[in-house]
Chain A
Amino acid sequence: MNHNMKVFLKSFIFIFLIIPTISYSYEPYTTHAGLTQEIVDFYNFFSYPKITEEEKELIIQGSIDEDFPNDRPLNHFYDPVRNIGFNNFPTSKQWASGEIINNDFSWQDALNAYARGDEEVAFKTLGHIIHLIEDMGVPDHTRNDPHKGDGIEGVFTNESPYEKWANDNKGRQTLKGLYLTFVSEGITPKRENSLGDYFDFLANYSNRNFFSRDSIKGELYKYNEPLEVELIGDYMYGVDEYNGKKIKLYIYLENINTGKVERILMVGDDTSVLSSYFDRLSRQIVPVGAGVIELFFKEAEEAKKKYQKEREDFKAKEELRQKELLEANQKLSESGFWDKAKYKIQYVWEYNLRTETFAVAKYLREFINEGPINLSQQSFYVYSAIGHSTINIAALGVVKTEEEVKRTNEFVQKQNPTTLAVGPVFAFSNELNTNNSQPTNETVTNNSQLTNGQSTPESNFIPTLLNPIQNPLPGGGGGAGFGGGMPPREVTVSVLEEATTTATTTEEVTPEIPPPDVTPPDISVLISECVYSLVVGSCVIATSTINISWTSVATDTAHYALSVDNVLSATTTETGSPRNISAGAHTIKVLAYDQTGNVGTSSEITIEYIARPLVISEIAWAGMETNFNNEWLEIYNRSNHTVNLNGVSIKSIDGGPDIELSGSIGSHSYYLIERTDDDSVPYVSADLIVPFSGSGPNGLGNTGEQLEIIHKMGGISVIIDMTPAVSTCSGWCFGNTSNYGTMARSNLNGLGSVSSSWATDDNMNETIFNASALSSPLVYVVLSGTPKSVYIYVPPIIVPF
């Protein structure tokens, strides 16, 4: 091996194996959390449906979780120029879509979870996707720069200076309210047609307009952009392709040993290049993230409709199949030996061979049509410098809706009445370049001044609220603003070029006589239990105790009055009240009175309390003759609503089983839970298959258990229904091991805790089927119990075929 080869190999190992370590991009707990918070707030300003605080926290949590465990960040890279991920791994675009490699938090997973009503999972998964989008605003991630990361143990590897700076300076507190700055500038959510388009857009922007630490030197890949325009002092400047402004790209610094100059992103405590990077990147990340959330709701609603239709189809099919099975059993019981043999053959064909034969035929047909391997899935193994992205970012403008223009202008007028309607700052097309009347040199000067800590605002600078002003206008009734009637005062402003920097300045306001206050105070009301509603889209709970709280931004609110079913209670200055309500629907609203007598009314909340909407209707605690572990449970929905089972569990008071339910249960329908597999109740599909485990003993003990249906409402657990205590009957009150009879609810409307509501169901019914899908002998079985209301199950009597 010659010397050059040795050097090459050594360099290769140095660059790709030793130095690059696991990179978390923006730090998850600080910068990712902060950016996600601003994305959701920005979305909420413009778009519907609104995201609640609880949902926002779930999204933020998801955006934090995406970095763990530590192999996930290896999929957070996407170089759009070469269409590759880091080190031959999938691109983050592929990772988000769940292609190539399995990702439990893909876009499709988020849509599926939302469709089936599991909003906790849906919003957390959406947070994972938002994290990936935010990473596209990190040049290291889109220029395929391993950026030497933090190192798994946090030892001895150089970090990306940009990420380190962002981690130290951009957290939830420092970023709070940043979205208002963007609103005031006329920026709106970015609209694209697909998730992939969002990845392409942001990745192209950060790739082509920014350097990462190691891709300046061109050791990894040589990129043509960003273009270097002018050297001023030690700073090299380029031009941002969106706003046409001259911006700092990097700093020249002499190497202590060689005297050659290096191109770096920060020197000592001079982080002006990095803060300028973040300022420009966050202006794209936040509107892109908000656009992704808009797209999510659009696609999720479609997925939900599809899911509901599929469920209805499945239910209809299942009912038909059950009907056919009952008819077949009827025929069988009336037929002779030869007819029975004929039915057996028909059965084997119908329920086993036919399906498998068609499946094999389908596979062969696909094989002939498409070939054995989907070649596109293999293609990512091939490193290719071809396939240069043709996406022209500059051509991608932003279309603002009329409503958005109106809302933006209202906001800006409120913030600064002298400012006219805001132009399309985010519409970074050529049009903007021509509109930019600010001389580029001036921008540079401003950047320089800002980094020196002097607060020289730009000519079109708009003061923005980072912290609420302490002295709002008298009688305004609607929060802080910049408008009228006060002597010169101090306001807190955000300097646009450096988002973390806040400076204090004095704004002259012409005194004028304040107009009379005729504005009613705003008032919003929250019933904390409704957050955990059992029904999606309305407030249905299983507890009679509710906690009502209300809030008003207006500073001159004097007192409140609570209205329950249009009956007003005495006025109060309190902002919350616990209440007990009777079964049925109730309307709740709150009235707010200000000091000048104006009255504001909150929107009306309808809340419905149902005692025992879900009940335990049948317990097959003895299992079946072939396997006593084949236990199952059945729940019945007594209500007139489809109940969302999020946060609902069924639990034994000894800790096991402890079963978290999922999905939903239709009105007056049954929900079947089978232990371990779907064979516990043959021919009836389980709604949930779980191991019947928990912190206590596994399975349903033959000596008795007391089961409860529990609805977790945040920190509070509400017991919806329960079976009799073990001491009531010295074990299970009903059911038996001799016939494997079940303990069935004879009175669905009665209390579950009393034995008179229960009975043993060991009615026998004869039927025929395979003991399992894989075994060949046919079996007759005698069934007892009524899982999902169909007579089925219990010990089989095997008849040789």
Chain B
Amino acid sequence: MNDEDEKIIWDRKLFWKIIKWTGIILVILFLLLMEIGYYGPKFQQYLIKKSQENYIAKVKAEDKRLEELQKNDTYGGKTPEETLDLYIEALKKGDVGLASKYYRVDQQEEVLRDLAEVKTKNNLEFPIDFATEVKNRGNKTCVEDNCYIVYEYVNPKEEILSIEGSQDTITIPKGNLRKRSINLEFNKFPNIWKIVEP
């Protein structure tokens, strides 16, 4: 038997070996697919159910975390007006970190980001004037644990304002009836009032 013959025999062996193992793999794959076919929908339902349970568990955990923060919250006044005074005072000092703490705990991070940007632009006068004007000239309405202070006025001049969350602007004509409003919510744990975004 020369080398050529040996090579042919070896090639044949290899060929049949490949065929055999391909067959075995196909059979295993076939059986696997059958199992998936049978259990697939059940598995799918299990995944959804599990996903929903996880979701609820995360929400509960987050609620618990926020509740703890709320219980330990000490930043706020005994009345809505007192909280606004504290907020204005913090802004006048340029302490935007303190000012943001007068908001409800889940909104503080976002408010701090906004106020930091306003401070960078040297424009803290705007929120100070806004809060002062609404507090002094607005009408207060309270329903259960919520109070709204709304100040209505006639737009003295045409204004072009940016719209939050978009690149668009809006033109408010002169003479339009407009409103400025601040919402406050009662934190029942430490008995203090917190500012909330609408």
Contacts and interface: CB of A to CB of B under 8 A. Distances in A.
Contact of A152 (B49, B63, B178): B63
Given A268-B150, A269-B148, A258 B53 contact: no
Interface stretch (A368-376, A503-511, A617-625, A777-785): A368-376
Contacts of A695: none
B164 A155 contact: no
A634 to B, nearest CB: 36
A267 B150 contact: yes
A18 interface: yes
Nearest to B70: A156
B192 to A, nearest CB: 14
Contact of B177 (A74, A100, A218, A234): A234
Interface string B96-111: 0000000011100001
Given A74-B55, A100-B45, A151 B40 contact: no
B140 to A, nearest CB: 9
Contacts of B55: 74, 87
A153 interface: yes
A152 B60 contact: yes
Contacts of A153: 60, 63-64, 67
B22 interface: no
Nearest to A370: B37
Contacts of B191: none
Contacts of B49: 101
B166 A217 contact: yes
B67 A377 contact: no
B165 interface: yes
B163 interface: yes
Contacts of B60: 152-153
A260 B37 contact: no
Contact of A234 (B40, B51, B149, B176): B176
A363 B149 CA distance: 69
B122 interface: no
B176 A372 contact: no
A15 to B, nearest CB: 12
Nearest to A88: B51
A771 interface: no
A261 B163 contact: yes
* Secondary structure of the A contact surface, majority rule: loop
Contact of B131 (A17, A70, A88, A256): A256
B179 interface: yes
Interface in B17-67: 33-34, 36-38, 40-41, 44-45, 48-49, 51-53, 55-56, 58-60, 62-64, 66-67
B40 A372 contact: yes
* Secondary structure of the B contact surface, majority rule: helix
Nearest to B100: A257
B141 interface: yes
A263 interface: yes
Contacts of B127: 256-257
Nearest to A366: B37
B125 to A, nearest CB: 11
A70 B56 contact: yes
A776 to B, nearest CB: 25
Given A258-B118, A377-B40, A22 B59 contact: yes
Nearest to B115: A257
Interface in B117-141: 117-118, 123, 126-127, 130-131, 134, 141
Most-contacted residue by chain B among A74, A87, A156 (CB, 10 A): A156
Given A157-B106, A234-B176, A252-B170, A377 B41 contact: yes
27 contacts: A18-B62, A20-B59, A71-B53, A87-B55, A89-B48, A101-B49, A102-B45, A151-B59, A151-B63, A152-B59, A153-B60, A155-B63, A155-B67, A157-B66, A157-B106, A217-B166, A234-B178, A255-B164, A255-B197, A257-B126, A258-B114, A261-B162, A262-B164, A263-B163, A267-B181, A268-B141, A269-B141
Given A152-B56, A152-B63, A372-B34, 5 more contacts: A101-B48, A233-B176, A234-B176, A257-B111, A367-B37
Interface of B: 33-34, 36-38, 40-41, 44-45, 48-49, 51-53, 55-56, 58-60, 62-64, 66-67, 70, 104-106, 111, 114-115, 117-118, 123, 126-127, 130-131, 134, 141, 143, 148-150, 161-166, 170, 172, 176-183, 195-198
